[in-house]
A and B are shown apart, each in its own frame.
Chain A
Amino acid sequence: MIRRYTKWIPVVLVAGVALTAACSDDILNPPTSSVDSLFSKYVAIGNSITAGFQSGGISDSTQSLSYAQILAAQMGVSEFNTPLMNRPGCPPPYINVFTQDRGGYADDDCFLRMAPIPEFLHNVAVPGAAVIDALTNLSPDSDPNPLTTFFLGGLTQLEAAAIIRPTFTSVWIGNNDVLGAILDANAGDPALVTSPTEFAANYAAMMDSLDAFGSIQGGVLVGVVQAAFAPYLTQGRAYFQAAATIPLPTLTVLGNCLTDFTLVPGTNDTLWVSVPFHYGGPIFAAAAAGSAQTLDCSVPQVVSSAEMLNMVGSVNAYNAAIATEAADRGWAFVDPNPLLEALLADPTAIRPFPAFNPLDPQHETAPFGWALSRDGVHPSTVIHEDVADALIAAVNATYGTSIPTP
């Protein structure tokens, strides 16, 4: 009886083949990079520059111009989510920094996150964040702002980054550990500059947290910008020269603006007393309007040359600590200050004196030079591209990858 059915064996075999062919499995579609799997999940940690803040404001328009966005595109990542803000912004960027015109909107206007919100973020940078803010929002030393919640909604940058378990990260944070001292009413106050010891400890803790993700295979750390040289600060001697050459008889610039300088120990560099825009700008504008004004560079609102020295020294120490963290992990390190120094040598890139004159062609569009956005602190789109180029070169050199430049 059994033998009679052996002729069915081929049928069974054919059926088996048919069954195998009938299976059609879908597969996972994990994040990818067209350049190298190292970059398949890239997360950007940072502050306003990384977030894409320009001209004192932020919207999806400026966010899409961030160096991090450019880097992600050049890495060929399949997905790079940013907490995009609706236009005109949060707050809307300046149209004219001298009149503080944001297109008719107020400094605290915010047009909320763009819907639909993404499931997770790759650019977790928050404007205003110092290193401590990447670690915690709730420490007494933290300084969260409305964008902290708009972007991260109760998470820290590290917590938001951990969700995607990144394979690669860029970290450009620390600028606000010194920049706050420039933007404060008592500009240059050493108490507003994070001590190098505290900075190093916070930065190390942040890097340890990133290591703890267990997923990161590489990264690039970017040093802190010498905020003392930001165009937002104008050397006192530039005011002195401007008052004399315009001429502007209603403006008296005291000699302490010209003479207060400090030689950087061990170098031939000179640090000059500097006037923050929020203090010098209104004085100059009032004088230009015919009101007699006096600029005294000995007041607390002005950054003394000694305070400048403290800031420069602190940033040098910060960058040494960051470079060490990078070297310890074999990560790439980029010091942005050589780029800044090259720009400082070009008076059209970084103007020694803001374009106060409404007749100046750059008065509205590039009041601090083409390298800066309209707020005098945050880089312009062109510089974001240059930063991306610098990071690409450093990453390629460190990891032997071939990220193309834009």
Chain B
Amino acid sequence: MRRAISGLVVAVALAAIPGTAVAQGFQVNEHGTCVMGRAGAGVASPCDDASSIYYNPAGLAGSQGWTISAGVTAIYAIGNFTGDLNGDETKLANSVIPVPHLYASYGKDKWAAGLGVFVPYGLGTVWPDSFEGRFLGFDNDLRSIYIQPTAAYEVLDWLTVGAGLDIVIGSVELTQRLDLSAQALPLPGLPAGTTVGELGIPFHTQFAEGKLHASGATGFGGNFGVRIKPVETVDIGIRYLTRVKLDYTGTATFEQVASGLILAPNSAIAPALGLDPALPLPVDSLVAGLGLFGTGAPLSEQSVTTSITMPDQLTVGVAINAFPSLKVLAEWQWVHWSLFETLEADFEFAPDLTLHENYRNTNAFRFGLDWATSDKVNLRGGYLYHEAAAPDQTVTPLLPEGPRNEFTLGGGFKLGSRFVLDLAYQFIRQDQRRGRVRDADPGQLPTVDLNSGVYIFNAHLFAATFAVHF
């Protein structure tokens, strides 16, 4: 059995590809179908599927025997950007993405231990490569896979504690087009720092595609939880997930892409490059001849390093057994998103990249109901509200994030004495949010004045988890 679990952990870790982030920032909170049905409220009264390894490690205490659960959340994200200028709509090109989760626990007397694999931070945004925002990133993927061995102990009848060691494996991939107009052109006779745009090349003229890929970053953190039962019908839960800094080392590759531009004869650019000004000047031939992509050149294949800190989270919740068969849950979560100020990439040859994010700490409020309609069936529902982590000037194609209202429905079905099947559906309705498709000018910080349209994001999530107890 141990060997089988080990194999499953590897499989889930490899398959743990997050969809577009479905909580604040690039946080993902859907790591158990039962809790998802309750709008993610799981800190005070965990579900009996070992998902408390993530939601509150203290929740493991009191379980008896083995519990193994495996499931998947299918995320169908629908989004688009509509520009102010012409009302053109560009649709998000994400496909339906399955996000698996896996838990195993064993409890005896007052002790319990377990292992979970989940992805609390991740994003995946795919836009068409013709999208105006492709210069900020059109095919982006970030995943932080947490593998968490956990232990929990019932200290008193009314007090349980738990803790887990998070082994975090991260990868990041950013793909963007490069804007020729923003490139410096160090030619004799031109002032230092003169850009190609100052010679007339139009804004957002693509000439290359850059892809940053870094994987294998590892970090360590902890997940700590406490559950208190002050009275028989009330449970209070507190859980803290520590921050984890991941240092990525990877590779950046660049390839030329066609601009299609042909400069008219008699331009000032041709003589500056020693070319015949009487002839038309195809920009693509010009770029190809600059040697930008050769070995050791600025856009050659090169190493790149970057760091991202997965922020810490604090969750506090209460569960009230309002009626013998009805549980009412409420939860508040704070996420330390202000840690995500910039995303900096240090390239071996190319100019370094700094994306200013300046995220804000966020609060989330979750309300759930769990109604045991019979010994075999539980029905669940809930509502949650997430604040936006991204400030108004940082709503970009990388993560067009905003405040979200989310609605959930779910059900748990006992199949015999050992098996439980949980099903849940979640609808995410993000507020339509103004955002930008361009970066700030060199040396400038982004402002809301750069926002040029509205991002719309909604998602449908379908989840199923199968749990077995023995």
Contacts and interface: CB of A to CB of B under 8 A. Distances in A.
B405 A23 contact: yes
Contact of A138 (B280, B431, B454): B280
Contacts of B194: 112
A119 B82 CA distance: 16
Contacts of B268: 110, 146, 149-150
A27 interface: yes
A154 B434 CA distance: 31
A117 B183 CA distance: 12
Given A149-B269, A153-B263, A154-B263, A26 B405 contact: no
Contacts of B385: 22
Contacts of A26: 431-434, 454
A295 to B, nearest CB: 33
Contacts of A373: none
A119 B204 CA distance: 8
A196 interface: no
Given A5-B326, A22-B405, A149 B432 contact: no
B203 A117 contact: yes
B429 to A, nearest CB: 7
Size bin of chain A's contact surface: 35 or more
Interface stretch (A28-36, A61-69, A200-208, A389-397): A28-36
Contacts of A165: 85-86
B202 A153 contact: yes
A23 B386 CA distance: 11
Interface string B261-289: 11111111100000000001001000000
A160 B200 CA distance: 12
A115 B183 CA distance: 12
28 contacts: A15-B383, A22-B405, A23-B431, A25-B432, A26-B431, A26-B433, A27-B454, A30-B84, A30-B87, A31-B85, A41-B85, A112-B191, A112-B194, A113-B199, A115-B197, A116-B197, A116-B441, A117-B203, A120-B203, A144-B267, A146-B268, A149-B263, A149-B269, A153-B201, A153-B263, A154-B201, A154-B262, A154-B263
A327 B333 CA distance: 67
Given A4-B323, A153-B263, A27 B432 contact: yes
B198 A148 contact: no
Interface of B: 82, 84-87, 181, 190-191, 194-195, 197-205, 261-269, 280, 283, 323, 325-326, 367, 383, 385, 403, 405, 407, 429, 431-434, 438, 441, 452-454
Contact of A149 (B200, B383, B441): B200
Interface in A171-190: none
Given A19-B405, A27-B454, A115-B441, A154 B84 contact: no
Given A113-B197, A116-B441, A150-B200, A164 B265 contact: no
Nearest to A159: B202
A319 B429 CA distance: 58
Contacts of A113: 197-200
Contacts of A24: 403, 431
Q: Which of A29, A117, A145, A148 has the most CB of B within 10 A?
A: A117
Interface in A131-173: 137-138, 142, 144-146, 148-155, 160, 164-165
Contacts of B453: 28
Nearest to A148: B264
A118 interface: yes
Contacts of A117: 181, 197-198, 202-203
B266 A146 contact: yes
A168 to B, nearest CB: 15
A9 to B, nearest CB: 13
B203 A28 contact: no
Contacts of A155: 202, 261
Contacts of A23: 405, 429, 431
Contacts of B326: 5
B202 A19 contact: no
Nearest to A128: B266
A160 B261 CA distance: 12
Contacts of B434: 26-27, 29
A182 to B, nearest CB: 20
B283 to A, nearest CB: 6
Contacts of B263: 149, 153-154
B280 A118 contact: no
A76 B391 CA distance: 31
Q: Which of A23, A26, A110, A160: most chain B CB closer than 10 A?
A: A26
Given A112-B190, A144-B266, 17 more contacts: A1-B325, A15-B367, A19-B405, A24-B403, A28-B84, A31-B85, A115-B198, A116-B197, A117-B198, A120-B203, A137-B265, A138-B262, A146-B266, A148-B266, A148-B267, A149-B266, A154-B202
B358 to A, nearest CB: 18
Interface in A1-59: 1, 4-5, 15, 19, 22-31, 41
